[in-house]
Protein backbone atom coordinates (compact mmCIF):
# COMPACT_ATOMS: atom_id res chain seq x y z
CA UNK A 1 0.00 0.00 0.00
CA UNK A 2 2.72 2.48 0.96
CA UNK A 3 4.83 1.69 -2.09
CA UNK A 4 1.68 2.03 -4.19
CA UNK A 5 1.08 5.42 -2.61
CA UNK A 6 4.66 6.51 -3.25
CA UNK A 7 4.33 5.52 -6.87
CA UNK A 8 1.19 7.64 -7.13
CA UNK A 9 3.06 10.58 -5.68
CA UNK A 10 5.83 10.09 -8.24
CA UNK A 11 3.31 10.36 -10.99
CA UNK A 12 1.94 13.68 -9.84
CA UNK A 13 4.31 15.55 -12.10
CA UNK A 14 2.70 13.96 -15.12
CA UNK A 15 -0.11 15.68 -16.95
CA UNK A 16 -3.61 14.96 -15.65
CA UNK A 17 -5.17 15.49 -19.04
CA UNK A 18 -6.16 12.13 -20.48
CA UNK A 19 -5.30 11.14 -24.05
CA UNK A 20 -7.83 12.75 -26.36
CA UNK A 21 -8.45 15.56 -23.84
CA UNK A 22 -11.47 16.14 -21.63
CA UNK A 23 -14.94 15.76 -23.12
CA UNK A 24 -17.27 18.75 -22.62
CA UNK A 25 -19.24 17.06 -19.82
CA UNK A 26 -16.06 16.11 -18.04
CA UNK A 27 -14.59 19.59 -18.43
CA UNK A 28 -17.78 21.18 -17.04
CA UNK A 29 -17.68 18.79 -14.10
CA UNK A 30 -14.09 19.55 -13.21
CA UNK A 31 -14.63 23.27 -13.62
CA UNK A 32 -17.62 23.20 -11.25
CA UNK A 33 -15.79 21.09 -8.65
CA UNK A 34 -12.76 23.37 -8.76
CA UNK A 35 -14.88 26.52 -8.58
CA UNK A 36 -16.68 25.29 -5.46
CA UNK A 37 -13.39 24.28 -3.80
CA UNK A 38 -11.79 27.58 -4.69
CA UNK A 39 -14.73 29.57 -3.29
CA UNK A 40 -14.63 27.63 -0.02
CA UNK A 41 -10.88 27.94 0.17
CA UNK A 42 -11.10 31.72 -0.24
CA UNK A 43 -13.92 31.90 2.33
CA UNK A 44 -16.30 33.26 -0.32
CA UNK A 45 -18.87 30.59 0.52
CA UNK A 46 -19.62 28.79 3.78
CA UNK A 47 -19.20 25.07 4.36
CA UNK A 48 -22.99 24.76 4.15
CA UNK A 49 -23.11 26.49 0.77
CA UNK A 50 -20.22 24.35 -0.39
CA UNK A 51 -22.13 21.23 0.57
CA UNK A 52 -25.21 22.28 -1.43
CA UNK A 53 -23.15 23.36 -4.45
CA UNK A 54 -21.03 20.22 -4.51
CA UNK A 55 -23.99 17.93 -3.96
CA UNK A 56 -25.72 19.31 -7.03
CA UNK A 57 -22.50 19.29 -9.09
CA UNK A 58 -21.76 15.65 -8.27
CA UNK A 59 -25.35 14.50 -8.68
CA UNK A 60 -25.90 16.26 -11.99
CA UNK A 61 -22.38 15.73 -13.31
CA UNK A 62 -22.18 12.00 -12.71
CA UNK A 63 -25.72 11.51 -14.00
CA UNK A 64 -24.60 13.28 -17.17
CA UNK A 65 -21.58 10.96 -17.28
CA UNK A 66 -23.92 8.00 -16.99
CA UNK A 67 -25.99 9.37 -19.89
CA UNK A 68 -22.85 9.69 -22.01
CA UNK A 69 -21.99 6.07 -21.27
CA UNK A 70 -25.46 4.92 -22.33
CA UNK A 71 -25.25 7.08 -25.45
CA UNK A 72 -22.12 5.17 -26.50
CA UNK A 73 -24.44 2.20 -26.82
CA UNK A 74 -27.24 4.08 -28.56
CA UNK A 75 -29.41 4.48 -25.46
CA UNK A 76 -30.76 7.56 -23.69
CA UNK A 77 -30.86 8.29 -19.95
CA UNK A 78 -34.65 7.91 -19.82
CA UNK A 79 -34.22 4.37 -21.13
CA UNK A 80 -32.41 3.31 -17.97
CA UNK A 81 -33.41 0.01 -16.41
CA UNK A 82 -34.15 -0.15 -12.66
CA UNK A 83 -30.89 -2.09 -12.30
CA UNK A 84 -28.94 0.70 -13.99
CA UNK A 85 -30.61 3.34 -11.85
CA UNK A 86 -29.65 1.40 -8.75
CA UNK A 87 -26.04 1.11 -9.87
CA UNK A 88 -25.88 4.85 -10.61
CA UNK A 89 -27.12 5.49 -7.07
CA UNK A 90 -24.50 3.10 -5.74
CA UNK A 91 -21.85 5.09 -7.56
CA UNK A 92 -23.22 8.44 -6.38
CA UNK A 93 -23.59 7.64 -2.68
CA UNK A 94 -19.92 7.26 -1.66
CA UNK A 95 -18.99 10.36 -3.66
CA UNK A 96 -21.69 12.43 -2.01
CA UNK A 97 -20.47 11.14 1.35
CA UNK A 98 -17.01 12.40 0.56
CA UNK A 99 -18.15 16.02 0.20
CA UNK A 100 -18.01 16.83 3.91
CA UNK A 101 -14.57 15.31 4.48
CA UNK A 102 -13.36 17.33 1.47
CA UNK A 103 -14.93 20.45 2.94
CA UNK A 104 -13.22 19.86 6.30
CA UNK A 105 -9.92 19.30 4.54
CA UNK A 106 -10.22 22.55 2.56
CA UNK A 107 -11.21 24.57 5.64
CA UNK A 108 -8.25 23.11 7.54
CA UNK A 109 -5.73 23.84 4.81
CA UNK A 110 -6.86 27.32 3.78
CA UNK A 111 -5.69 30.66 5.03
CA UNK A 112 -2.33 30.80 3.36
CA UNK A 113 -3.41 33.26 0.70
CA UNK A 114 -3.56 30.59 -1.99
CA UNK A 115 -6.89 29.68 -3.59
CA UNK A 116 -6.11 26.05 -4.24
CA UNK A 117 -3.05 24.86 -2.40
CA UNK A 118 -1.06 21.95 -3.76
CA UNK A 119 -2.65 19.77 -1.09
CA UNK A 120 -6.16 20.68 -2.22
CA UNK A 121 -5.33 20.30 -5.92
CA UNK A 122 -3.91 16.91 -5.09
CA UNK A 123 -7.20 15.92 -3.44
CA UNK A 124 -9.11 17.08 -6.49
CA UNK A 125 -7.27 14.58 -8.64
CA UNK A 126 -9.19 11.92 -6.78
CA UNK A 127 -12.40 13.50 -8.02
CA UNK A 128 -11.14 14.14 -11.52
CA UNK A 129 -11.25 10.52 -12.68
CA UNK A 130 -14.75 9.87 -11.34
CA UNK A 131 -16.55 11.26 -14.37
CA UNK A 132 -14.80 8.92 -16.78
CA UNK A 133 -15.07 5.97 -14.41
CA UNK A 134 -18.84 6.36 -14.04
CA UNK A 135 -19.30 6.81 -17.78
CA UNK A 136 -17.47 3.53 -18.38
CA UNK A 137 -19.66 1.63 -15.90
CA UNK A 138 -22.78 2.95 -17.64
CA UNK A 139 -21.51 1.86 -21.06
CA UNK A 140 -20.46 -1.54 -19.74
CA UNK A 141 -23.98 -2.11 -18.42
CA UNK A 142 -25.68 -0.78 -21.55
CA UNK A 143 -23.73 -2.85 -24.08
CA UNK A 144 -22.29 -5.72 -22.10
CA UNK A 145 -21.79 -7.98 -25.10
CA UNK A 146 -19.37 -5.66 -26.86
CA UNK A 147 -15.79 -6.87 -27.03
CA UNK A 148 -13.39 -4.47 -25.39
CA UNK A 149 -9.63 -4.40 -25.31
CA UNK A 150 -7.77 -2.81 -22.39
CA UNK A 151 -5.52 -0.07 -23.73
CA UNK A 152 -2.91 1.18 -21.28
CA UNK A 153 -2.75 4.90 -20.59
CA UNK A 154 0.53 6.83 -20.77
CA UNK A 155 1.31 6.67 -17.03
CA UNK A 156 4.98 5.95 -16.42
CA UNK A 157 4.52 3.09 -13.98
CA UNK A 158 1.28 1.17 -14.33
CA UNK A 159 -0.14 -0.64 -11.31
CA UNK A 160 -0.39 -4.44 -11.21
CA UNK A 161 -3.97 -4.38 -12.51
CA UNK A 162 -3.42 -2.01 -15.42
CA UNK A 163 -0.17 -3.71 -16.49
CA UNK A 164 -1.73 -7.16 -16.28
CA UNK A 165 -4.91 -6.23 -18.15
CA UNK A 166 -3.12 -4.48 -21.01
CA UNK A 167 -4.18 -5.80 -24.43
CA UNK A 168 -6.58 -8.40 -23.02
CA UNK A 169 -9.93 -8.74 -24.76
CA UNK A 170 -13.17 -9.62 -22.95
CA UNK A 171 -16.82 -8.71 -23.22
CA UNK A 172 -17.73 -5.46 -21.49
CA UNK A 173 -19.93 -7.47 -19.10
CA UNK A 174 -16.95 -9.59 -18.02
CA UNK A 175 -14.78 -6.55 -17.30
CA UNK A 176 -17.70 -5.04 -15.36
CA UNK A 177 -18.39 -8.19 -13.38
CA UNK A 178 -14.89 -7.93 -11.88
CA UNK A 179 -14.98 -4.12 -11.54
CA UNK A 180 -11.97 -4.28 -13.83
CA UNK A 181 -12.71 -0.96 -15.46
CA UNK A 182 -10.37 1.97 -16.06
CA UNK A 183 -10.43 4.59 -13.27
CA UNK A 184 -12.16 2.12 -10.95
CA UNK A 185 -11.26 2.33 -7.28
CA UNK A 186 -10.96 -1.45 -7.08
CA UNK A 187 -7.86 -1.36 -9.30
CA UNK A 188 -4.53 -1.63 -7.46
CA UNK A 189 -3.87 2.06 -8.30
CA UNK A 190 -7.36 2.97 -6.95
CA UNK A 191 -7.97 4.41 -10.41
CA UNK A 192 -6.23 7.45 -9.07
CA UNK A 193 -3.98 8.27 -12.00
CA UNK A 194 -5.38 5.71 -14.40
CA UNK A 195 -5.53 6.89 -18.01
CA UNK A 196 -6.33 3.47 -19.43
CA UNK A 197 -9.40 2.87 -21.54
CA UNK A 198 -11.39 0.01 -22.97
CA UNK A 199 -11.45 0.19 -26.75
CA UNK A 200 -13.73 -1.55 -29.25
CA UNK A 201 -11.91 -4.36 -30.99
CA UNK A 202 -12.31 -7.18 -33.48
CA UNK A 203 -9.44 -9.13 -31.98
CA UNK A 204 -10.25 -12.60 -30.64
CA UNK A 205 -11.29 -12.93 -27.02
CA UNK A 206 -8.41 -13.69 -24.62
CA UNK A 207 -8.44 -17.39 -23.78
CA UNK A 208 -8.68 -18.83 -20.29
CA UNK A 209 -10.22 -17.63 -17.05
CA UNK A 210 -10.42 -13.95 -16.22
CA UNK A 211 -7.35 -12.95 -14.12
CA UNK A 212 -9.39 -11.74 -11.15
CA UNK A 213 -6.27 -11.93 -8.96
CA UNK A 214 -4.99 -8.77 -10.65
CA UNK A 215 -7.56 -6.68 -8.77
CA UNK A 216 -6.85 -5.14 -5.36
CA UNK A 217 -10.32 -4.07 -4.25
Q: Where does this chain bind Zn ion (CB under 5 A)?
A: 162, 194, 196
Closest CB 183 distance from Zn ion, rounded Å: 7
Task: Give which of 147, 194, 195 is closest to 174, Cα–Cα.
Answer: 147
Q: Is the Cβ of residue 144 or residue 164 nearer to Zn ion in the bound state?
A: 164
Task: Give which of 152, 154, 202 is closest to 182, Cα–Cα.
Answer: 152
- The total number of residues written for the chain in this structure: 217
Closest CB 95 distance from Zn ion, rounded Å: 20
Closest CB 94 distance from Zn ion, rounded Å: 20
Q: Is the Cβ of residue 37 or residue 162 nearer to Zn ion in the bound state?
A: 162
User: What backbone phi and psi angles, to 5 degrees, belong to 150?
Assistant: -75, 120
151: which strand partners? 197
Burial of 142 per CB tally in 10 Å (0-12, 13-18, 19+): buried
Closest CB 115 distance from Zn ion, rounded Å: 30
Q: Is the Cβ of residue 103 or residue 129 nearer to Zn ion in the bound state?
A: 129
Q: Is the Cβ of residue 134 or residue 196 nearer to Zn ion in the bound state?
A: 196
With vertex at residue 3, the alpha carbon angle to CA 90 and CA 98, rounded to the nearest 5 degrees, is 25
Amino acid sequence: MSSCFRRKMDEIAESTIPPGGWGPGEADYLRAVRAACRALSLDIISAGEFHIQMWSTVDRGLTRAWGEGMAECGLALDEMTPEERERLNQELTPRLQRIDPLSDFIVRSRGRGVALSAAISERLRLWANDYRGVRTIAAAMACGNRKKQWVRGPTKEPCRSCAGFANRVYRYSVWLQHNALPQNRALCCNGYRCMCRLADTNLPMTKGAFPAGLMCG
